[in-house]
Structures are given as structure tokens and as C-alpha cells.
Amino acid sequence: MDCPAACSVAEQEPSHDDTIVQRTLPRGHETMLVVEDGPDLRETVVTALRQLGYQMLEAASGPEALALLAGGIKVDLLFTDIMMPGGMLDSALAQRAREFRPGLSVLFTTGYAETGVLSSGDGVAATDVLPKPCRNEELARRIRQVIDRETRVV
């Protein structure tokens, strides 16, 4: 998840415009599991989503995420990079995660959306992928769309 400064949480006092935008972003109360091997980026995403009201869990790898899910922790959405170190495509992580949590909502992110990584037969639909880099507004909107879509289906 390669969010640039535009996607990072501001360290300064918010301006009037920032406050208005923050209040208009889609918010939630659901629990999300963010899987990202980069600690700084993981912290940035977790902080941004926590500010929108979400309960956050985090993991640095697919195996760490699966261990959390196997432990019985309630998770409403898995937000994970498609390609991470260690050889596991996170579409495989999503499939394994759904063995523990059938119907689990999943939103993928990748910097490779335009290079054919999604057409490799790994079962990832382009509609479930958030290209990197992203802005907080797009992150908030797409997460809400996936959660709401899955809620209607289940």
C-alpha cells in the first residue's frame, strides 16, 4: 500500500477545508484487518481508518493475518496488498481467510493494477482492487462500498 503524502495523516492542525472534507468522508464502525509488510505504510493506513471510526487490527504478513483470524477475532473486512514478500499472493490469503470467515469482505490494493497482475487467473476482480497510490477520500469510499455491497449480499 503505497500511499503518498496525500494519503498520509496530517501532523499539523487541520485547516477549515480539511475539517469539512474529513466530516464528509464515508465513516464506519466495522472491524478491519490491514495486512501490509511495510510498518510505516501500515501505520498510516490504520491511523487514517481509525480516524473514520473503524476498529483496526493489523498484520505484517499473510501468516500473521491468518493466525489472527484463526483465533476467532471478528473481522468485517480484510484490506491487503496483492503482492507481498514470502511468495503468497494475497488472493490466496483471501481464500484462506474466507475458510475461517465465510463471506468476509476483501479489498485488495496494488501498485501493479495496470501491468496485468490482475489478469493472471488469481481470482481477483478488478472492482475489488484499489490502485496505489491512493488518497484518503478514495480509500474511505472504496472500503465503504465493499462493506456495504457485502452486507447486502450476505
pTM for the full predicted model: 0.75
Q: Which residue has the cell 464502525?
A: 29
Q: What domains can you pick out in the chain, each with its CATH number?
A: 15-153 (3.40.50.2300)
Write out pLDDT tens, residues 22-81: 558 889 999 999 998 889 989 999 999 999 999 999 999 889 999 999 998 899 999 998
Q: Report the Cα–Cα distance between both ends of the chain, in Å, rounded.
A: 28
